[in-house]
Amino acid sequence: MPKLNIVILAAGKGTRMHSNIPKVLHVVGAKSILAHVIDCAKSLNPQKIIVVYGFGGELVKQAFTHEKIIWVNQAEQKGTGHAVQQAVPYLEEDANTLILLGDVPLVDANACKKLLEQVEGNLAIQSFNKADPTGYGRIVREDDGNVIAIIEHKDATETQRKIIEVNTGIMAMPNKNLKKWLSQLKNNNAQGEYYLTDIVESAVLDKVNVVAEITADEWSVTGINAKADLAKIERIYQSRIANQLLQQGVTLKDPARIEVRGVLECGRDVEIDVNCIIEGNVTLGDNVKIAANCVIKNAVIASGTHIAPFTHIDDTKIGENARIGPYARLRPGTTLAADTHIGNFVELKNAQVDIGSKINHLSYVGDTTIGKNVNIGAGTITCNYDGANKFRTVIEDDAFIGSDSQLVAPVTIGRGATIAAGSTITKNAPADQLTLCRAKEQKSIAGWKRPVKIKQ
Ligand code: UD1
Ligand code: CA
């Protein structure tokens, strides 16, 4: 393959987004619109990626400091041709250039490859047959089918406006030609802009072949101009991910009601019920079941584990055959070994729970190490924070923590220890003994009456 330079046009203001965030930084899936385009560009292995930026430029640059990109400022937006002119000093003499639009997130790398195969000294343009072509540049062909011009909507005659084949904005050509044609652009048109599309007429004059490759995938050429476009593209993007999951054998109760904002990897026979949101990198092993309304972010869940409804999982690892939820909240740093049970209204934070242990009801367990086959009773709280510093609780194998106990860290509950219900434990509890700490004795007051409401 010849050398490739890619120029991404992203200087547009995005006025119709009604937002302080630059248009190309709005998000589809988990990635900004421009990140989708840059990822597509990277997959084509170019020598250079040049992004022409303008409005909100510093913010845009900051979002991509980790990428090898040449940033070119187009201070004033005088048209797409003017935008590409800003990149000229960086274009290599012996390379081809592919032009992409920074606001088209679903741009298709395979279609770009096909277009690049057409270059070989030609000017290759990607076009699309649009039912309502209003606003787009029309592809004008001679009777024999050769492309002779692209005429912008505002400059087109009534007859030309009837043409439904439009310019998608994606094109590719040899740099030597591009540089020459860009230097010939004029702005004597309806919008007073330097149109990139005018290079077609220069190519025709130079007897360079102009080929238009028609794509059938409208979404891969749809630009984002307003929030309505963003919402529509998000649905398309999500439905594509859902279809990929279905194709891999994942059971989705309703492919229209799953959101994947990141990367989801699934083993065999995974089932996901409705209204689940997957964020970051999530891996689900074989036979994992996720019930309705779960939010799962950056998690690894091993095979056979079931997650019941309304569970939130963030930065957590879960072993095989665990039972989690409903209404559980697993916060960062938590690891659960195989066969663990975490029930409703249980919050875990930076807790490591070993095989077979259970925390089934209404508990807060933070900064805690729990051994094997431990049972944590309802309403247990690890008091890990004294208002200034955090401390750890250690609960060894086979311990039993009675309901409504507070374990004031730092504290260790020994192996096989039992903590009586309602205890506030501030000192280490020895192994195999019952430890209790309550009001000394249970009293009953004979003749005591409940207060009654005073009549006004
Ligand atoms: C352009 C094409 C039109 C095509 C349409 C597809 C021209 C003259 N027209 O229309 O044939 O059908 O795209 O969407 O090329 N941009 C800059 N700097 C500028 C102007 C634009 O960076 O000075 C960027 C925008 O950020 C955007 C892209 O170029 O990413 C396209 O600009 P836009 O204004 O949306 O398209 P049109 O010029 O109307
Ligand atoms: Ca109590």
What digits encode the pLDDT tens for the residues 121-169? Answer: 999 999 999 999 999 999 999 998 899 999 999 999 999 999 999 999 9
Round to whole Å and give the CA distance between 163 and 127. Answer: 12
> Do 200 and 274 share a domain, yes or no?
no
166 and 313 inside one domain: no
The pLDDT value given to residue 444: 87
426 phi and psi, to 5 degrees? -115, -10
Do 296 and 344 sit in the same domain of this protein?
A: yes
Q: Residue 12's pLDDT is what? A: 87
Mean pLDDT of the chain: 97
Full residue range of the structural domain in which residue 379 is found: 229-435
| Ligand number with the minimum distance to the CA of 12 | 1
Q: Other CB atoms closer than 10 Å to residue 192's CB: what's the count?
A: 9
Which amino acid residue places its CA nearest to atom 22 of ligand 1? 11
Predicted local distance difference test score (pLDDT) of residue 1: 79
Q: What is the pLDDT of residue 423?
A: 96
Quick one: which atom of ligand 1 is closest to the CA of 194? 8
Q: Is residue 295 part of a domain?
A: yes
Is the Cα dihedral 209, 215, 220, 224 positive or negative?
Answer: positive
Residue 174's pLDDT is what? 98
Model confidence at 113, pLDDT cuts 50, 70, 90, reads very high
pLDDT of residue 296: 99
Same domain, 209 and 247: no
User: For ligand 1, atom 3, which residue shows the shortest CA distance?
Assistant: 137
Give the residue from 163, 186, 221 where a domain finishes: 221
DSSP state of 21: S
26-35, 231-240, 438-447, range with the lowest pLDDT: 438-447
Number of separate domains in the chain: 2
Q: Residue 443 has what pLDDT?
A: 86
Q: Which residue has the tokens 């019920």?
A: 273
| Cβ atoms 305, 319 nearer than 8 A | yes
- What's the gap in Å between 235 CA and the centre of ligand 1? 24
Whether residue 326 is preceded by a cis peptide bond, meaning omega within 30 degrees of 0, is yes
Residue 76 lies in a domain: yes
Same domain assignment for residues 194 and 284:
no
pLDDT tens digit string along 266-302?
999 999 999 999 999 999 999 999 999 999 999 999 9
Q: Based on the fold, state whether residues 147 and 279 are members of the same structural domain.
A: no
Helices 109-117 and 33-43: crossing angle, nearest 10°?
50
Which residues line ligand 1 at a C-beta cut-off of 6 Å? 9-12, 52, 74, 77-80, 82-83, 101-103, 136-137, 150, 152, 166-169, 195-197, 223
Where is average pLDDT lowest: 15-24, 381-390, 443-452?
Answer: 443-452
> 6 near 46, Cβ under 8 Å?
yes
In a domain, 233, yes or no: yes
pLDDT band at 56 (very low <50, low <70, confident <90, very high): confident
- 143 CA → ligand 1 middle, Å: 28
Residue 105 has pLDDT above 90, yes or no: yes
CATH number for the domain harbouring residue 195: 3.90.550.10
Residue 83 maps to a domain = yes
In the prediction, which pLDDT does 360 show? 98
* Active site positions, annotated: 361
Decide if 442 is inside a domain: no
Q: Of 202, 221, 240, which one is at a domain's C-terminal end?
A: 221
Predicted confidence at residue 451, as pLDDT, reads 85
Domain end among 163, 194, 221 = 221
| Domain assignment present for 451 | no
Phi first, then psi, for residue 80 (nearest 5°) are: -65, -35
Examine the domain organization and report whether 249 and 161 are in the same domain. no
Residue 422 Cα, ligand 2 centroid: separation in angstroms?
5
- Classify residue 16: in a domain, yes or no: yes
Q: What percent of the chain has pLDDT over 70?
A: 100
Q: Residue 55: is its pLDDT beyond 90?
A: no
CA distance 285 to 307: 12
Does the structure show a pLDDT above 90 at 448?
A: no
For residue 40, give both structure tokens. Answer: 């597509």
Tokens standing for 296?
Answer: 């799962």
**CATH code for position 399:** 2.160.10.10
- The DSSP string of 44-97 is T--SEEEEEE-TTHHHHHHTTTTS--EEEE-SS---HHHHHHHHGGG--TTEEE
Q: Which residues of 105-114 are buried (b: 16+ CB within 10 A; e: fewer)?
A: bbbbeebbee
**Atom number, ligand 1, closest to the C-alpha of residue 12:** 26
At 349-391, the pLDDT tens digits run 999 999 999 999 999 999 999 999 999 999 999 999 989 999 9
Q: Are residues 203 and 233 in the same domain?
A: no
Together in a domain, 312 and 346: yes
Residue with tokens 């999530």, as numbered in its chain: 282
**In 80-172, alpha helices (H):** 80-87, 109-117, 158-161
Within a domain: 455: no
Q: Which residue's alpha carbon is nearest to atom 26 within ligand 1?
A: 12
251 in the same domain as 136: no
Task: Note the helical H segments in 124-205.
Answer: 158-161, 175-183, 199-205
* Ion ligand 2: protein residues whose beta carbon lies under 5 Å: 422
Do 213 and 239 lie in one domain? The reply is: no
**Phi, psi angle pair for 355, to nearest 5°:** -50, 135
Considering the domain architecture, whether residues 22 and 64 belong to the same structural domain is answered as yes
